[in-house]
Amino acid sequence: MLESLLGPGGLVLLRDSVEWEGRSLLKALVRRAALRGERVHVLGCEVSEEEFREGFDSGTNSRLVYHDLFRDPLNWSNTGEALPGGPLGVLRALCTRTGPGPVTIALDSLSWLLLHLPCTTLCQTLHALSRQDSRPDDSSPVERVHVLGLLHEELHGPGPVETLSSLAQTEVTLSGSGDQASAHILCRRPQHRPTHKIQWFTILPDFSLDLQGGSPLKSQPHPDPRTHPVDPTSHLTFNLHLSKKEKEAKDSLTLPFQFSSEKQQALLCRGLGQATSHIFYEPDAYDDLDQEDPDDDLDI
Amino acid sequence: MFPELNDLLNASPDRAEPGKLTLLCDAETDGSFLVHHFLSFYLKANCKVCFVALVQSFSHYNIVGQKLGVSLTTARERGQLVFLEGLRSAVDIFFRAEGKAHPLQFLREAKAASLQPLYEFVREALEPVDQGEAAWKRPVLLVDDLSVLLSLGVGVVAVLDFIHYCRACVCCRLQLRVLWRTPSPPAQRGRSLTFQYKIQDKSVSFFAKGLSPAVL
């Protein structure tokens, strides 16, 4: 299902977190769109153009147009290099079609835009951006527009996140277990029930997607080659080891409640009926051995 | 700098990595020993350091630095260290003539909306001057600390914008002359390791959780 994320048009929301970053998946989807021949526009707010293009082959890079909002988004340098209109101007400029053919717009990131623009303005612009394909008065064939938005959900409250989520046709929440990443995909199509799927995946160094079938096998955690495993038996305040003599003494010790064969023989021998004890009694002068009245309290 | 911490981070002054943003966080404890570590680390690595110090005075950092083997006074005199002493220069705002904006200009504004003057100070401090600057290696910016800015009324977005511009300037633009780049493998989960530590007079010792002789 991860491969078909770019199938229907509209907004694809990639929700990532500090623990499971989503930029690699965004780059993988950008590469996939470029390989299909689409033009890709990237609105880059969080990383430099060099860093975003790193890892892409030349074919992908040639189809990628990078709108740089990283170097000087707020026009602090006053050199005139900043993009006109600021972030909102650039976003609105993307809304106007620049040519035929399907186009993919990647927003890196929606979080940055949400922090710098009012939520309502951003939502309205996003709606206009992803709805470019449905213009009834246009006689040209409908071309799909895919909008990929990266959202760091830990930065925002539930309100803006849910608002953006309601705008999205597809939502991908990144998670994982151990070293393996997973994508929880929620797909909304009109007049259909929403579909859920969990897809385990790996992103290879050239940003191609390697999809795994089910959940990963529980593998042994690999020891980190960089760190030296700490020896827990060093620097202790008590002795954990036994000397050879102590080991021998320990092995030859019989436990008090252990039922050995010698004990068994001793118990069996006692049951043969031999008298093993005698009682010697010498009565005193005052002792009265009257069997009928041993307590001497009957007034007979 | 603390040698044990260098081992843990796999770092050394003669191979200080360029283009990195490191965030030091402490919660319910005092992480200031990390600031002293990195300050002495980068001074020993012969880097040009801009230190925005909002928490302590210059002499405090100097005294601790001397225990770790660096002299901030000497570094400042020979131009290796640019030091913004926030506690002292905050008062200067009120007694200076109108002119260029002071780095801590936001203290005078009713609505502290932008840290642009502070960014301009950092940029000018770390811009290489053509003559005689070839001695210093890559530029380093240290801020101690960002939560003071929040306490002084600066908004979170303004602090994020300041860090954004510093990152664009220090990590990217001023690195364009460096031809060597480390390729970063994608989707590599950041490994997180947890250690406990004990601070002594001149050193810090690190050990795996629960294995300190003091604990056992």
Q: What's the confidence (pLDDT) of residue A163?
A: 94
Higher pLDDT, A2 or A267: A267
The per-residue pLDDT for range A146-192, each reduced to its tens digit, is: 899 999 999 999 999 999 999 999 999 999 887 789 999 999 888 88
pLDDT, mean of residues A207-236:
64
- Check whether B81 has a pLDDT greater than 50: yes
The per-residue pLDDT for range B86-120, each reduced to its tens digit, is: 999 888 888 877 777 889 988 888 776 799 999 99
Domain containing residue A42: CATH number: 3.40.50.300
pLDDT, mean of residues A217-223:
49
Tell me how many domains chain A contains.
Answer: 1
Q: What's the confidence (pLDDT) of residue B177?
A: 30
Q: What's the confidence (pLDDT) of residue A46?
A: 93
The per-residue pLDDT for range B10-67, each reduced to its tens digit, is: 777 777 677 777 877 777 778 888 899 999 999 999 999 999 999 999 999 999 999 9
A157 falls within a domain: yes
Contact B160 A237 (CB under 8 A): no
Q: Is A198 on the interface with B (CB under 8 A)?
A: no
A111 falls within a domain: yes
Residue B35, min C-alpha distance to chain A (Å):
23
Taking the C-alpha atoms of residue B97 and residue B102, their distance in angstroms, rounded to an integer, is 10
Residue A152, min C-alpha distance to chain B (Å):
14
Contact A203, A209 (CB under 8 A): yes
- Domain range for A39 is 2-134+142-211
A181 falls within a domain: yes
**B168 vs A contacts (CB less than 8 Å):** 48, 70-72
Contact B189 A27 (CB under 8 A): no
A206 falls within a domain: yes
A271 falls within a domain: no
The per-residue pLDDT for range A225-266, each reduced to its tens digit, is: 545 566 767 667 778 888 899 999 988 887 877 777 777 777
Q: What's the confidence (pLDDT) of residue B84?
A: 94
The dihedral sign for the CA sequence A163, A166, A168, A174: positive
* Per-window interface: A 250-289 vs B, CB < 8 A: none
Q: What is the ipTM of this complex?
A: 0.78
- Check whether B182 has a pLDDT greater than 60: no
Question: Cα angle vertex A147, ends A145, A153, to 5°?
Answer: 165
Contact A181 B189 (CB under 8 A): yes
Residues in CB range of B144: below 8 A, 6 or more apart = B32, B35, B51, B52, B53, B54, B55, B56
Taking the C-alpha atoms of residue B14 and residue B209, their distance in angstroms, rounded to an integer, is 30
The per-residue pLDDT for range B125-177, each reduced to its tens digit, is: 988 776 555 678 888 999 998 899 988 889 999 999 999 999 998 887 664 33
A254 falls within a domain: no
The per-residue pLDDT for range B190-205, each reduced to its tens digit, is: 556 667 777 777 778 7
A265 falls within a domain: no
Report residue B188's pLDDT band, with 50, 70 and 90 as the boundaries.
very low
Taking the C-alpha atoms of residue B85 and residue B55, their distance in angstroms, rounded to an integer, is 9
**B164 vs A contacts (CB less than 8 Å):** 70, 73
Taking the C-alpha atoms of residue B137 and residue A24, their distance in angstroms, rounded to an integer, is 31
- Check whether A142 has a pLDDT greater than 70: no
A273 falls within a domain: no
Taking the C-alpha atoms of residue A147 and residue A10, their distance in angstroms, rounded to an integer, is 6
